Amino acid sequence: MEAISGMQRNELIRESRNSADDPLFSLTDRGYLVAFLVRSRSTTNYDCECNDCEDGIDKVLSEMRNAGGLKLVTTDDCEFPHLDGGNAHMCLEDDSFLDAILRLERLGLVKLQEDMSFTLTKKGLFSAHFTLSTSSKARAIRASLN
């Protein structure tokens, strides 16, 4: 019961009663997002260096730098959480965005806030500036070679 009380205090579950007045517990949106992150953190391949993963990191860093952060949200029209901020709307059904945000978190470049938003750390701000400027130069070089 102590665990249930703690989950209710942290707004992860809510209690309702059925017709027999038995307690029923269901996840809140916040509870679903926390469960999604916990499961995803345990299954993410943090060592992948494929182009999709690298592009996902560039996209997430770019959007975070422009928007100041990305909020983890649920929507009624999709079963997967999304990262929203400014003009950004990234569905986490695309593994490259999910892997990117979790890799950046593990590296200490982004931090998950209490309101379920990811923000760049000071280290992340520097890295975003450096990474995005070098990746755009690398893309320009590759384009000129083709």
Cβ(90)–Cβ(60) below 8 Å? yes
pLDDT digits 0-9 by tens, 103-119: 999 999 999 999 999 99
**Position 21 confidence tier, pLDDT thresholds 50, 70, 90:** confident
Cβ(99)–Cβ(53) below 8 Å? yes
Question: What's the pTM value of the predicted model, to 2 decimals?
Answer: 0.78
- Give the domain ranges of the chain: 1-43, 47-145
Residue 38 has pLDDT above 90, yes or no: yes
Domain boundaries 47-145, CATH class: mainly alpha
The pLDDT value recorded for residue 4 is: 81
**Position 88 confidence tier, pLDDT thresholds 50, 70, 90:** confident
